[in-house]
Structure 1
Amino acid sequence: MKSKYLLLLYLFLSISFTNYSQNEKSKDFKVEFEKFTLKNGLQVILHIDRSDPVVAVALTSHVGSAREKVGRTGFAHLFEHLLFLESENLGKGGLDKMSARIGGEGANGSTSRDRTNYFQTVPKDALEKMIWAEADKLGYFINTVTEPVLAKEKQVVKNEKRQSYDNRPYGHTSSVISKNLYPETHPYNWEVIGSLEDLQNATLEDVKSFYNRWYVPNNVTLTIAGDFDVNQTKIWVEKYFGEIKRGQDIPKIEKLAVTLTETKKLYYEDNFALLPQLTLTWPSVYEYHPDSYALEVLGNYLSKGKKAPLYKKLVEDKKITDAVDIYQYNSEIAGQYMLTVTAFEKTNLNAVMDGINEAFKDFETNGISQQDLSRIKAGQETAFYTNLSSVLGKGFQLAQYEIFAGNPSYITQDVQNILAVTTEDVMRVYQKYIQGKNFIATSFVPKGESDLVLTGSKLATVVEEKIVEGKEDAFDSSIEATYQKTASSFDRSAEPAYGESPDVKLPTVWKSKLSSGLHLIGIENNEVPLVQFQLQIKGGMLLESNEKIGVSNMLAELMTKGTKNKTPEQLENAIESLGATINAYATDEGIIISGNTLSKNYNATVALVEEIVLQPRWDLKEFDLIKQSTLSQIQQQKADPNSIARNEFKKLIYGNESILSHNRIGDEKSLENITIDDLKKYYTANGSPTISLFQIVGAVPKNEVIKSLSTLNKEWKSKVVTFPKIPVTNTIASSKIYFYDVPGAKQSVIRIGYPALAATDADFYAATILNYRLGGGGFASQLTQQLREGKGYTYGIGSSFSGSNNKGAFSIASGVRSNITFESVSLIKEILNDYGKNFNENDLDVTKGYLIKSNARAFETLDEKLGMLYNISNYGYKDAYAKDQENIVKNISISNVKLLSDKYLNADKMIYLIVGDAETQLEKLEQIGFGKPILLNESAVK
């Protein structure tokens, strides 16, 4: 699901970076790529970007859920999973296993209605390996799929569906919309993930037929973007892909727009929702339709920001929600235009509908001004450049244009279409697609609150899965597939050697300290005409009182809502007119004001940040809106099992004595106590340059940065700020199981861990090395291999050490099928107990290979460089700490890892938290051996 201009932002490729206007830009716009087609029909697109020693490889198959048959839905997405598991020459573990060795950035994939893609960024010396691996997946895969493999992966996909749809608030909304917007004969009638019943009924023959039809070279685009030799790459592509047989001709899928003969209103009482939500959906246009550009602007104008008619009416005037979202979901043959409002507690959705209609009337009367249109386009310009720092994003978009627009060069036309939108276009598309047109209205409300739904709504049909103990299919994932290898003209089992090792250069860091006490740290980077920065004021929740948790969070929200001399709307307009973004947010340990802007607008953007810091507005109306919005967030978190787990785990890790045990946004009681005077007192006492850091990356030199902050340095008064001592969290004497009951939960959310290390502790990085093969290495980790790949218990599981200047937690996190909660926790405990004892030479080699080689792409993007500066300035790391960490990896031994495991991975001294259905899962957990589970909330279970 993606908006039009965000798609484009991935690929604003090779242009001359000069300060010219948008209209001039459309004339000078130039894309550098090379495209060719193999004899078997494989489309290949190459793009050179030598800014970093990395290469992104993306394989995109023109098949999504729209190519499926009724009764066999979900196949395209199932294949996304299967193609990572094994192929004839990569062997078991496939690309995931190789990725861990070569330092790749998370081999992954995604499926939409119309395409499935597979992608990864690797150090440039691994390019031939990637081409070899992707060819093996495409042409030498299907023989490795057996009944046990299929049975296991069905369970993984089912867990993904439960996690993403069935076990979360409003998870069934999209399904209800699709079923009612599109006729049964339309290929968008079903969800991309398919139905659980269809997945369960899929046979091995079904799978092979789907593969042989759609996974053929003449239906696939290979994109390679980054730092590589073009001629050599062409030779490799021909060698590895050239002899894969062409498939049957692929029919062009025709556009198939839909119309609604009537407005349909549907409702559903959601087991997880605590707030009512209204979604309106209109039939819209396909991807790259000429009207999609004006529709994008329309959605932005109607819903985003202080001037937006929907915001003014629903948020400010009626005060029945804190946000409105409008977005396009445009696909290859049709599209839909969606408006979503999550209302405040007990709000009747008829009142929301009234507000929407009133806002539409305002727009019909006033339209959009040229000034507002220019403001929106300015934001699009900056967003183009922002997405340039990733070669993977560039590869994605090249394939997108090739498949859905007919040629990668369509980007030139695409940009011109964005810039050509007029105010008249925006009104025209509103009248054509929205005004007075039929739509689908879905009212999703909490259980027992059907009185809140739109008048005239009918109960929606929703298929709820029944999870029964012991009813899942059994399978043995250890069974090796036996088959005759597909013939080839050369030995494909030999993995290609590495190329020349890339020369990894760490960015040059500069530092300064101003007379006010403000510390500066930066990296000058001129790859794109962008600047990203953040002003970090230390403190956050650490400087709050237990009775008024949430002050710093509300203060951060309020800081960007106007200044002394600018109303909230005027400040917002000033920022957006520069094509800039300025956001403020709170963490447990600070308040951060972040900015992103074109380098030519850097000084003007920083001037606005100075105004925000030095001249706060203290707008009471905005304070009241923020307070209500925060209350709504708290209520929504109570409805989401993952949020419940996060907040409850924090309490258990830090204990009642530590302020860090709290949810930083507060709770209903603390919010009730907070006044705007509390925010003023907090800022007056703690807003000081002496505890602040300014971190900046981009196309601006050190001297200009220092000069740009002269007013802030002169006028921001220094204060002495005292930080309270945070009690050292006690170690866990013995393990206990805690349970939070969510009746009817389809999954159990698991959190296991204990208070571990600070980022400044000597063992912190060594502990992250220890954790790589346990749960930090994705598919290279034992937790993933055993719980997902071996058992099919979960869609995802991972572990991490998270510390700052204060001690953080070691934690294991997952969501598992409800009826194997006990089995999952038992297996995790077993893995923890055996990890150090069984750690071997292969584990060490994989760990070292990944952590050393991944340095080539460690600081590719501006965000990653900013993260580097954060670590240096907050934790006292050396400028070249990445090299120091590399040496730690090189020198670590198996005995070191075993000692670290004994020290930091004791399964009998951890907190075990389960958020799930107590009625079916609580009692059995006593068999884990940690005593009777402790119930954390009121429950029907006795």
Structure 2
Amino acid sequence: MKKWLLAAAVSAALAGCAAEKAPAPQAISAAVQLPAGVTLVESYAPKAGEIGIPYKKYVLANGLTVLLHEDHSDPLVKVDVTYHVGSDREHPGRTGFAHLFEHMMFQGSEHVADEQHFKVVTEAGGELNGTTNSDRTNYFETVPSNQLEKMLWLESDRMGYLLPALTDQKFEVQRATVKNERAQRIDNRPYGRLNEQFQQAFYPKGHPYSWPVIGWPADLDRATTQDVKDFFRRWYGPNNATLTIGGDIDEAQTLSWVNKYFGDIPRGPEVKALDKPLVTLDKTRYVSMQDNIHLPLIQIGFPTVYARHQDEAALDLLANILGGGKTSIIYKNLVKDGYAVQAGASHPCQELACQLSFYALANPAKGASLAPIEKLIRQSIDEFETRGVTDEDLQKVKIQFRADSIFSLQSVSGKVASLAANQTFTGNPNQIGNDLARYDAVTKEDVMRVFREYVKDKPSVVMSVVPQGGEALVAAPDNYTPPTPEVAKQAVTGLSATLAPAHSSFDRSVMPPTAKAPVLKVPELWSATLADKIDVMGTQSSETPTTEIIIYLNGGHRMEPLQKAGLAALTADMLNESSAKRSSEALAQALELLGSSVSFSASDYQSVVRVTSLTENLDKTLAIVKERLLEPGFTEADFNRVKQQTLQTLQHMVSDPNYLANAGFSKLLFGSDNSLGISSGGTLQTVAGITLEDVKAFYAEQYRAGNAQMVTVTDLPKAQLLEKLQPLTRWQGDATPLPVAGKLPAGNPGVVFLIDKPGAAQSVISIGKRALPYDATGDFFKSYLMNYPLGGAFNSRINLNLREDKGYTYGARSFFAGGSEQGYFEASASVRSDVTDKALAEFMKEISRYHQSGMSAEEQAFMRASISQGKALDYETPYQKAGFIRMIQKYHLAHDFTDEQDKIVSQISLEQLNQLAKQWLDPATMQILIVGDKATVEPGLTALGYKVVNLPL
């Protein structure tokens, strides 16, 4: 199922369980006295049996659309401002403005000081961000409900009063930041440039999707401050925006605030919808690129329709049948038979265009050439025509759609995002019922019709990504070169010079006061023991008819022999495959028909079974859990395939600088004789030596009832849930003791260990040391408080220095991480290669200053406010609740341990915090690792006085 559509459906609010079409909302009279200039357009509340989000829709006199959704289940509120402008409104040669402007919106406005937006939201205990895609830009905050007025003040000030604060200096810093973001997310990442190269070949010259959202580097260099100001004036008017507010709100008060802060912002230029001509290709286009990768990749795309076109739903179902998981044709022909490490199909849609897309990562063990992979994909497409569409194909997709519409109903953020997107792109926030009806109406004939119309014998774009020097591996020689676009004379068009300036009717320089803090709702917990062996801890949450069960087994990577590192993860992967009764495909089909998921995984200290189910299907889902857990198949064919996929994935990961940094830093801190010094996924050498007998032996030691603890969040009462868990009582076995931990290395502070990544666009810097194991109320927790102003918040010293002041990085941070036996401190960032030495010097300068002088009283007050108020956001979704319960269970904490944490936050002295800084942040004890281009970075590091040592992995 397609991601964008699920994002809308998943966040629905539930009034019942039947997936019936919701009626169109009707205009009604105001239930409250509306402020002058505010008009109620419509109100919607789901009837019994409908899935939908209750809301009220208003419009201000200046054209701003306002959506309100009340949800009093948690004391929090989300504010989202979505502007209907993305990179699709840019011009050739003038790309990147929409995303660059997103950055500029966080740099202060006329009445909000530089960096104050981040500081205010973080200090309020909230979270914030902004995102840009091809079709829209949005800004959002989630905060305790008493902070709502302050958020409206912030958002309105940058909507109406940004330009007076926009300076050349701010522009240059954010241009550098965007370049760093591009380097980190695209240029320094395996396959990072795939999408932008593919889109150039897929769309005609000048099409709004033919350039990347982040922009071309040359276009970013071409931009001016005036261009950015013009972009704001053209697209950021209230009449091109939707303000959506959801959560624990009072309708009348919220409307009053909205009108106060947004009502006097003048309208912007009118915005017309873009045309949506269907994309066509004259012939199949072959294009390719070389990259620093191990696994050759092929992507094939067919142009189809656009979002909400009448054929979109049928094309989604076609993509699911062709490549939507283990029951698909692509999986059977490519992954199951070992030709590809991964493969699949999807039908991603945007406002102006969609594409039916196939991808496969070739398995070099069966040959790395992409021509045979393309042939297999095209044979799979042909096979579909012969196979046709079954009743189960339609049934499972529709069930999955309905289930996904329910699973995340607890999230106010999801509901707000759904309302905002639907309003922005359709003018109607209430699309969930329509979407359910669209998918329910799809027939077998519809799927076959769209296959013939858009795919069968139609031209496509075939993109090959091969290792450096691997041009012989491409699917076919390139036969298409994208035309070079002409640079538009103007970056922004359609701008009137007569836009009225904003004049406020009140003093906007005064930040609104904060109302009384809401009462936090910590989940009420219960405990039980299953089969006299398994501790179960849970809570009842009646917001949705869903059940989340997580089984934790003590052991994981820590239990396996060092020479067999990766065994726990490989065993978990095998438990995701066949059982003794059914194939992995049959089990996947059974789960899809229930709308459920059951997954096995492993980490440093535990193996995990996660179960997500509609409560109505819990019995059948638990029967599959029991089958997989107690009756694994462990077939030779599954093992050979999964092991080969693991080895190829590990070889691929070596091309990822961030993976190299994590692996190298762990080795530095914990050494090769301790499991924490080796990745839980293992290495090429250790995984190569694992046999199926090793997997069976580890399963017998790990997957015992005596090792297990269980956490559950469900709408069922305790007694009913325990009754449904009874089939697992036959699970037996005593606890398995962990082996003695290996010795730890002495360490080499003052030395820079370097992992050479020739040609790397960025260097990954890691600085740190071994530190404290986890505790909830001791020195580990207090060190977390101590670090917060240094590198724990966006406006921390480290991030403001390296990102905002110097423009060296997209983001820098520091943190304490702790497990049950060991912990560590780390400061890290990906920085431009040419400033690696300067960035390291700034890191060490900030850590040294903090070590010597600690935090200030102002920073302490900020930390206290941010952390204490932020707890309002901690327990919203079932998974968040499950994580909270797991901490109590794993570390034997009191159910009210958060009260003790609150006391520590409010009472810990500056002297205590700064003493911890002196104890743990001595730069002379820190180890340093850099992953980057040795030829570029080593001279500067040597000039700083560091000894540089190559670190082999």
TM class by shorter chain equals: over 0.9
One-letter code of the match for 2:121? S
**Shift of the alpha carbon at 1:592?**
0.5
One-letter code of the match for 1:356? I
**Shift of the alpha carbon at 1:937?**
4.2
Q: Deviations over 1:274-313 (max 9, x none)?
A: 1100011111221122222122222222113332111111
Please, which of 716, 719, 725 is the counterpart of residue 731 of structure 2? 716
**Distance in 1 (alpha carbons) for counterparts of 2:520 and 2:384:** 54
**Distance in 2 (alpha carbons) for counterparts of 1:5 and 1:112:** 15
- The residue number in structure 1 matching 2:345 is 326
Q: Deviations over 1:797-846 (max 9, x none)?
A: 12221111121221122111110000001000000011141511110111
**Distance in 2 (alpha carbons) for counterparts of 1:284 and 1:500:** 53
**Distance in 2 (alpha carbons) for counterparts of 1:429 and 1:925:** 59
Q: Which runs of 5+ in 1 are unaligned?
A: 464-484
Please, which of 126, 129, 132 is the counterpart of residue 108 of structure 1? 129
- The residue number in structure 1 matching 2:28 is none
Please, which of 366, 373, 378 is the counterpart of residue 352 of structure 1? 373
One-letter code of the match for 1:269? Q
The yes-or-no answer on 1:508 pairing with 2:524 is yes
Please, which of 601, 607, 616 is the counterpart of residue 623 of structure 2? 607
One-letter code of the match for 2:357? M
Equivalent position SS for 1:751: strand
Q: Deviations over 1:95-131 (max 9, x none)?
A: 21111111112x1011011100001111000001111
The yes-or-no answer on 1:299 pairing with 2:319 is yes
The yes-or-no answer on 1:33 pairing with 2:55 is yes
Between 342-351 and 95-104, report the one with greater CA deviation.
Answer: 342-351
Is the 8 Å Cα contact of residues 284 and 330 (structure 1) preserved in structure 2?
Answer: no
Please, which of 760, 767, 770 is the counterpart of residue 755 of structure 1? 770
User: Within 5 Å, which residues of 2 pair with 1:60-79?
Assistant: 60-79=82-101
**Distance in 2 (alpha carbons) for counterparts of 1:40 and 1:47:** 22
**Distance in 1 (alpha carbons) for counterparts of 2:747 and 2:903:** 32
**Distance in 1 (alpha carbons) for counterparts of 2:92 and 2:516:** 50
Between 371-380 and 781-790, report the one with greater CA deviation.
Answer: 371-380
- The residue number in structure 2 matching 1:88 is 110
- Give the 3 Å change call, closer, same or farther, for CA 513–156 of structure 1 in structure 2: same
Is the 8 Å Cα contact of residues 283 and 335 (structure 1) preserved in structure 2?
Answer: yes
- The residue number in structure 2 matching 1:8 is 8
- The residue number in structure 2 matching 1:834 is 849
**Shift of the alpha carbon at 1:199?**
0.9
Q: Deviations over 1:166-204 (max 9, x none)?
A: 111111111112211222221111111001111112111
- The residue number in structure 2 matching 1:538 is 554
- The residue number in structure 1 matching 2:175 is 154
- The residue number in structure 2 matching 1:246 is 267
Alignment TM-score, normalising by the size of structure 2: 0.93
- The residue number in structure 2 matching 1:476 is none
- Give the 3 Å change call, closer, same or farther, for CA 590–274 of structure 1 in structure 2: same
**Distance in 1 (alpha carbons) for counterparts of 2:20 and 2:604:** 41
The yes-or-no answer on 1:286 pairing with 2:285 is no
Please, which of 752, 757, 760 is the counterpart of residue 737 of structure 1? 752
User: Within 5 Å, which residues of 2 pair with 1:418-817?
Assistant: 418-458=439-479, 487-713=503-729, 715-727=730-742, 729=744, 732=747, 734-760=749-775, 762-777=778-793, 779-817=794-832
**Shift of the alpha carbon at 1:148?**
0.7
User: Within 5 Å, which residues of 2 pair with 1:19-418?
Assistant: 20=18, 28-105=50-127, 107-270=128-291, 272-317=292-337, 319-345=338-364, 346-418=367-439
Alignment TM-score, normalising by the size of structure 1: 0.94
Identical-residue share of aligned pairs (%) = 35
**Distance in 1 (alpha carbons) for counterparts of 2:62 and 2:952:** 61
Is the 8 Å Cα contact of residues 518 and 693 (structure 1) preserved in structure 2?
Answer: yes
**Shift of the alpha carbon at 1:413?**
1.2
Is the 8 Å Cα contact of residues 326 and 340 (structure 1) preserved in structure 2?
Answer: yes
**Distance in 1 (alpha carbons) for counterparts of 2:901 and 2:701:** 38
Equivalent position SS for 1:281: strand
One-letter code of the match for 2:920? Y
- Give the 3 Å change call, closer, same or farther, for CA 903–21 of structure 1 in structure 2: same
**Shift of the alpha carbon at 1:23?**
8.0
**Distance in 2 (alpha carbons) for counterparts of 1:74 and 1:266:** 24
**Shift of the alpha carbon at 1:10?**
3.9
- Give the 3 Å change call, closer, same or farther, for CA 324–833 of structure 1 in structure 2: same
Equivalent position SS for 1:87: coil
One-letter code of the match for 2:928? Y
Q: Deviations over 1:613-640 (max 9, x none)?
A: 2111112211111101101210111111
**Distance in 2 (alpha carbons) for counterparts of 1:578 and 1:280:** 31
Q: Deviations over 1:559-608 (max 9, x none)?
A: 12122222222222222211100011111111101011101112221222
- The residue number in structure 1 matching 2:489 is none
Between 343-352 and 912-921, report the one with greater CA deviation.
Answer: 343-352
Between 187-196 and 725-734, report the one with greater CA deviation.
Answer: 725-734
- Give the 3 Å change call, closer, same or farther, for CA 88–900 of structure 1 in structure 2: same
Equivalent position SS for 1:805: coil
**Distance in 2 (alpha carbons) for counterparts of 1:374 and 1:774:** 53
Is the 8 Å Cα contact of residues 331 and 344 (structure 2) preserved in structure 1?
Answer: no
- Give the 3 Å change call, closer, same or farther, for CA 519–601 of structure 1 in structure 2: same
**Shift of the alpha carbon at 1:673?**
1.5
**Distance in 2 (alpha carbons) for counterparts of 1:881 and 1:727:** 32
One-letter code of the match for 1:491? D
Q: Deviations over 1:18-54 (max 9, x none)?
A: 4x46689997344421111111111111111111011
Q: Deviations over 1:355-393 (max 9, x none)?
A: 111211221101221112212222222211122221111
**Distance in 2 (alpha carbons) for counterparts of 1:733 and 1:563:** 48
- The residue number in structure 2 matching 1:868 is 884
**Shift of the alpha carbon at 1:84?**
0.8
Could you say what the CA RMSD is over the residues aligned between the two structures, in angstroms?
2.0
**Distance in 1 (alpha carbons) for counterparts of 2:247 and 2:61:** 25
**Shift of the alpha carbon at 1:150?**
0.5
**Shift of the alpha carbon at 1:325?**
2.6
- The residue number in structure 1 matching 2:934 is 918
User: Within 5 Å, which residues of 2 pair with 1:881-896?
Assistant: 881-896=897-912
Equivalent position SS for 1:724: coil
- Give the 3 Å change call, closer, same or farther, for CA 673–733 of structure 1 in structure 2: closer
Between 400-409 and 414-423, report the one with greater CA deviation.
Answer: 414-423
**Distance in 2 (alpha carbons) for counterparts of 1:75 and 1:4:** 23
Aligned length in residues:
910
Equivalent position SS for 1:933: strand
**Shift of the alpha carbon at 1:882?**
2.0
**Distance in 1 (alpha carbons) for counterparts of 2:310 and 2:899:** 50
**Distance in 1 (alpha carbons) for counterparts of 2:434 and 2:75:** 31
Is the 8 Å Cα contact of residues 26 and 415 (structure 1) preserved in structure 2?
Answer: no
Equivalent position SS for 1:802: strand
Is the 8 Å Cα contact of residues 205 and 483 (structure 2) preserved in structure 1?
Answer: no
**Distance in 1 (alpha carbons) for counterparts of 2:949 and 2:648:** 29
Is the 8 Å Cα contact of residues 325 and 344 (structure 2) preserved in structure 1?
Answer: no
One-letter code of the match for 2:580? K
The yes-or-no answer on 1:853 pairing with 2:857 is no
**Shift of the alpha carbon at 1:216?**
0.6
Q: Deviations over 1:672-731 (max 9, x none)?
A: 211111111111123211121111112122112322232322x22222412112246456
**Distance in 1 (alpha carbons) for counterparts of 2:664 and 2:823:** 15
Equivalent position SS for 1:35: strand
- Give the 3 Å change call, closer, same or farther, for CA 545–274 of structure 1 in structure 2: same
**Distance in 2 (alpha carbons) for counterparts of 1:890 and 1:540:** 37
Equivalent position SS for 1:610: helix
